[in-house]
Structure 1
Amino acid sequence: MFRALGDGARKAASPLQRALTASAARHPTTTRHGGSIVVVQLASTPTASSASSAAAAARAAHATRGRHRVRPLAADVVEVEMPLIANMIVERIPFLLPLPPAWETEYNEWSHERAQRWRKELPREITNPKKEYESEDELRQMEAFVAAPRETDADRANDVRSMRRKSDQFLFLVVQDADTGVWGFPRRKHSGKEGETMRQVATAAMEACIGDSIETYVVGNAPMGKFPEKAAAAKRETAKRETAAAEGDGGGDGGGGGDGAAAAPATTGGGEGTNYYHRAQWIEGVLKLESKCKDYKWLTKDELGDHFNEEHHAFLKEIL
């Protein structure tokens, strides 16, 4: 049946070639795999069931090919909601290490006490060999050094506009749209122009909000995640209706639940489209807003929940 593959070649064939060989009897055809051309004689027209079984066999062979298991063909093709919306997450990196947990502090104290118990006193000439090269002024400065406090004036005043707060955590910039008054990350819809990347759209959205007042570094070209607002809004609406139906005749209670859902914090966009998130790191500069935005805040990951609904906030905590 096969002219291109002999008996020896069929024994050494890959799983995908063997799958094609097994299915060729049901629907002969001509195909190419790797560098070899598999030629079969056309005997009859394949049926829909035989074609689907051949495709399933090919996908199964592809999934088990090689040392590591790979995903089936076309497994990552996902339909997204339009329009596409690019978000730029501007972050301030922490400049202090977070405090260790209580168990680690306790262990370090115990370890130090145990080491001191067996410690031997050595001559200063050995333990401090740099002393002869250091001036007395330098030694006095080292002894008088006091670390800066972790709690700053911005922490005590809870000044969310200051980047001097929460020094041991990441801070993320959220802005308030001047037209709608809704809080969220700098964002913009993709125009549909061919060749325009989501990174370019996200960068343009950031510049429209803060201009060139601060210097940033955009991390990578690919987005760090996506969130379909329309699908999430539909799920929330379905859950709200199910809750109202479960409550029975409590019409007033159901109405109250609707008001609460409408008043919940949400991002700009009205619950439509698919959000793609890019990341930019603050390097230097003092932030100044453009006319598109009227207010801003630097918030921690947990504080973002004040301006995003529960589902959206849970997604952001996963990617940040």
Structure 2
Amino acid sequence: MSREKGEYQIDYEPAPRITEADKQNDKKSLQRALDRRLYLLLYGNPYGAPTGEPVWHFPEKVYESEETLRKCAETALEKVLGDISTTYFAGNAPIGHLAVQNQPDSQYFKRFFFKSNVVGTNNKYNIRKCKDFVWVTKDEILEYFPEQAEFFKKLIIG
């Protein structure tokens, strides 16, 4: 069979969108919910936890002497992931902040949120500095932070 110039036939079957991690609901894997953005949550003791009990939270670090808030955010992520060479921070400014008061009689502090993406990798990260971790979709975030659902709906989902 001869083909005209510019005519090509490619026998291609795309990989399935549903992976083994999806079937097993493996929230420790980046190989799940491939058509959605995933967010890293850590289970441990975040700064300012009122009870000292472990809770779910995003990677975080107290701002010390870094040049910028973004550098502080990069350092926080690096302490958890190790190598952040496949991580892209979207911009230099935080996408939002949340004022937190850990005790009724104490001062407020601000928790800033930065948007970053892990790109172009199938690495399995050795997540550290926490008791547990999950990679969740934006809808699943609300299950972990029901008391802050409105904030996250506006920040991430909105």
Report the Cα offset of residue 300 of structure 1.
Answer: 0.7
**Matched residues in 1 for 2:90 and 2:6: separation?**
42
> Given that residues 44 and 55 in structure 2 are in contact (C-alpha distance below 8 angstroms), is that contact kept between their aligned partners in structure 1?
yes
Structure 1 vs Structure 2 CA RMSD: 2.9
Report the Cα offset of residue 149 of structure 1.
Answer: 2.2
Report the Cα offset of residue 317 of structure 1.
Answer: 2.2
Task: Confirm whether residue 287 of structure 1 aligns to residue 158 of structure 2.
Answer: no
Report the Cα offset of residue 276 of structure 1.
Answer: 0.8
What SS class does the counterpart of residue 35 from structure 2 fall into? Answer: coil
> Given that residues 142 and 152 in structure 2 are in contact (C-alpha distance below 8 angstroms), is that contact kept between their aligned partners in structure 1?
no
Supply the AA of the counterpart residue of 2:89.
Answer: V
Task: Confirm whether residue 198 of structure 1 aligns to residue 69 of structure 2.
Answer: yes
2:14 pairs with one of 147, 161, 165: 147
> Given that residues 29 and 124 in structure 2 are in contact (C-alpha distance below 8 angstroms), is that contact kept between their aligned partners in structure 1?
no
Task: Confirm whether residue 318 of structure 1 aligns to residue 158 of structure 2.
Answer: no
* Aligned equivalent of 1:182: 55
Identity %: 32
More helix by share: 1
Evaluate the alpha carbon distance shift between residue 149 and residue 176 of structure 1 in structure 2; reply closer, same or farther with a 3 A threshold.
same
TM-score by length of 1: 0.40
**Matched residues in 1 for 2:13 and 2:63: separation?**
51
1:209 pairs with one of 64, 80, 99: 80
**Matched residues in 2 for 1:296 and 1:227: separation?**
22
TM-score by length of 2: 0.76
**Matched residues in 1 for 2:54 and 2:93: separation?**
29
1:273 pairs with one of 84, 93, 109: 109
Q: Deviations over 1:140-170 (max 9, x none)?
A: xx2x432322222111111111122112211
* Aligned equivalent of 1:158: 25
**Matched residues in 1 for 2:140 and 2:134: separation?**
10
Number of residue pairs matched? 145
**Matched residues in 2 for 1:294 and 1:304: separation?**
18
Note the residue ranges of structure 2 that are not aligned, 5 or more in a row: 46-51
Report the Cα offset of residue 206 of structure 1.
Answer: 1.0
Report the Cα offset of residue 215 of structure 1.
Answer: 1.8
Q: Deviations over 1:64-91 (max 9, x none)?
A: xxxxxxxxxxxxxxxxxxxxxxxxxxxx
* Aligned equivalent of 2:4: 132
* Aligned equivalent of 1:63: none
Structure possessing the higher radius of gyration over alpha carbons: 1
What SS class does the counterpart of residue 27 from structure 2 fall into? Answer: coil
**Matched residues in 2 for 1:293 and 1:272: separation?**
24
Q: Which runs of 4+ in 1 moved over 6 A?
A: none
**Matched residues in 1 for 2:146 and 2:111: separation?**
14
What SS class does the counterpart of residue 101 from structure 2 fall into? Answer: helix
**Matched residues in 2 for 1:213 and 1:177: separation?**
21
* Aligned equivalent of 1:167: 34
Evaluate the alpha carbon distance shift between residue 213 and residue 221 of structure 1 in structure 2; reply closer, same or farther with a 3 A threshold.
closer
1:25-40 equivalence runs, <5 A: none
